[in-house]
Chains A and B, each alone.
Chain A
Amino acid sequence: MKPVMTFALMTLRNLLRRRTIWGISIVILIALFGIGQIPGFGVSNEGRFILDFGLFGLEIGALLLAIGLASNIYPRDREQKTVMPIIAVPLSRSQYLMGRFVGAAIVEAAAMLVGCIGLMIILIMNGHAVPADMLPATGLLLVEGWFLLAVVFFFSFWTSPPLNAPLTTLLFIVSQMSVSGFIKLFPQAPGLMRTLRLFLPHMDVFHIKDPIAHGMDIPGLYFFLAALYGLAYMAFMLSVALAVFRSRDLK
């Protein structure tokens, strides 16, 4: 575990020093500033709007963060050959993947937390109550972000960064579709589409902004099971990514 954590720390420091995190912070601040302008439009139920837009922003943020943080890590390591001396001597490929993943996951968690706190401040400043489920809801979006990170790592082992982003976004979109929506994509083969949908992740389970914005109660068990589902899928995706990485020659 120690080598993985050391390498994760190295990844974290690298992301900090490359100013990646500052770029992310600026984007978060701009997004929060935009959401903070909602009361100025004089809409009714502005608290609901702020929550709705805010959680939607966090959801998209989770996707963009995953792509921005991870799509270039391995390709850059390979291109600059920094991966060679690391994998050749101190680390195994699984430790390399886990170290890089954990480092990026910490940055993603910090960014999501900052976004969530910012959203809470905007709500309070405009005289609205902060829903009790907001933090767990952000937690679910973070789990989704980590899952997407694993997907980005998986793609990064066999595609280029420009292809990685659309592939991950495509998976993000289709993973939110219902079975009927999926069949509509290719109605000629409903059985095939139904089977395909079964194997693709159901990311819609992480998106609970509507019930929260409407003040509905969400059972704690739901959060637990949804998080478990996301983490299990993330572990599966990392295993597949590792299998791909292990099978590849480092030329």
Chain B
Amino acid sequence: MEKFPLQVNELEKSFRKKLGLSSFKAVDSISFQLSHGEILGFLGPNGAGKTTTIKCILGLLKPSNGKVTLWGLHPASLQVRKRIGYVPENPDYDDTFTPLEFMQMFSSMRRLDMSRERMLAILDRVGLAKWENVRIRSFSKGMRQRVSLALALQSEPELLIMDEPTVGLDPAARKEFRDIILAERQRGASVFFSSHLLSEVETICDRAVILSKGKKVVEGRLDDLMRTEDHYRIIYRVSDDEPEELEVEAAGLQKSIDDLRGQGYSIISVNPLYRSLEEVFLSATGGGGI
């Protein structure tokens, strides 16, 4: 059976403080996994340990404890590198090169046999069609993000790791990024998506992991996370009038239904109430900033 694209077990990462006399835990015993073809949202306030976790996943940091595996292999192994694409937060590539030169060099370093047309097609896909020969020195933050996405998509990765990929993008560009991520999932890729933009996570992710102060505080399918267990919405109708709705606590649900029926109303549906992801996030992190 194919192993999980990403499995994090009891990951712990400590850093020494300046004088090296004491240390602090940036990530504290977190575990989660990413299934094949899934988009996993990775959330947390600033300083929660998201980027540290991503760097451990990429093999840039060595875990103090615990284990990270990708398809059962060590993150730094060559087999893993061939299968992943990485979009860093605020990418800062060498600005003396053009997007096309980067595509050529990265494809060569990855040992990919790519035609110029294929590279141009990828640049076109991320919105850099007319910029392929312009040095990225003159690019905006958003355009540099597009270069980064193009490089990540180059190898048709099985796993896309994205660290705040849409920071600095305008709404239209964010929509383009989202569409590309969804298309990649459609192709069969799994996506590990760290973002501050909860609306975005809500729109595209299947599951979410929320960190706070280095610890995992919530993990689950978005539907499950956003569904409240203690409040329900009853939709009912009085004769031929427009349907009306009533929000009730779980404890009083049956009584409310009985009362409505007793008054001659017909019950159309009873559903758990959904919270926004922002509410889930704020309650999980104790109101920590996003």
Contact A85 B108 (CB under 8 A): no
**B153 to chain A: closest CB distance in Å?**
12
Instruction: Report which A residues bind B (CB closer than 8 A).
Output: 2-3, 6-7, 9-10, 13-14, 17-18, 80-82, 84-92, 95, 249-251
Contacts of B85 in A (CB 8 A): 89
Instruction: Indicate if B31 sits at the interface (CB-CB under 8 A).
Output: no
Rounded to whole angstroms, the CA-CA distance of A84 and B88 in the bound complex is: 8
A9 to B58, CA, bound (A): 25
Known: A85-B151, A88-B86. A250 touches B108 (CB 8 A): no
Q: Is the CB of B61 within 8 A of A250?
A: yes
Provide the B183-212 mask, 1 if CB < 8 A to any CB of A, else 0: 000000000000000000000000000000
Please report which residues of chain B, range 35-83, place their CB below 8 angstroms from some CB of chain A when the two chains form the complex.
55, 58-62, 76, 78, 81
B91: A residues at CB distance < 8 A: 81, 85
**B110 lies within 8 A of chain A by Cβ:** yes
| Residues of chain B whose beta carbon lies under 8 Å from any beta carbon of chain A | 15, 55, 58-62, 76, 78, 81, 84-86, 88, 90-94, 96-97, 105-106, 108-111, 148, 151-152
A79 to B: closest C-beta gap in Å: 9
- Chain A residues closer than 8 Å to B109, beta-carbon distance: 2-3, 6-7, 86, 90-91, 95
Contact among A81, A85, A91 for B86, CB-based, below 8 A: A85
Question: B residues within 8 A CB of A86?
Answer: 109
Q: Tell whether, in the assembled complex, residue B92 and residue A81 are in contact, meaning their CB atoms are under 8 Å apart.
A: yes
Is the Cβ of B96 less than 8 Å from the Cβ of A81?
A: no
**In the complex, chain A residues whose CB is within 8 Å of the CB of B97:** 10, 13-14
A14 pairs with B96, CB closer than 8 A: yes
Q: Bound complex: CA of A81 vs CA of B15, how far in Å?
A: 19
CA distance A85 to B88 in the complex (A): 7
Chain A residues in 8 Å Cβ range of B152: 89
Asked if B76 contacts A89 (CB within 8 A), the reply is no
Contacts of A92 in B (CB 8 A): 76, 78, 81
| A14/B88 in contact, CB under 8 A | no
Q: For the complex, give the distance between the alpha carbons of A86 and B151 in Å.
A: 10
- 18 A–B contact pairs at CB < 8 A? A3-B108, A3-B110, A13-B96, A13-B97, A14-B97, A17-B96, A81-B91, A81-B92, A85-B86, A85-B91, A85-B151, A87-B60, A88-B58, A88-B60, A90-B81, A90-B109, A91-B109, A249-B62
If the complex has contacts A88-B58, A89-B86, A251-B61, are A82 and B92 also in contact, measured as CB distance less than 8 A? yes
Q: B residues within 8 A CB of A7? A: 105, 109
Also in contact, A89 and B61, with CB within 8 A (given A6-B108, A17-B96, A82-B92): no
Q: Are B96 and A18 in contact (CB under 8 A)?
A: yes
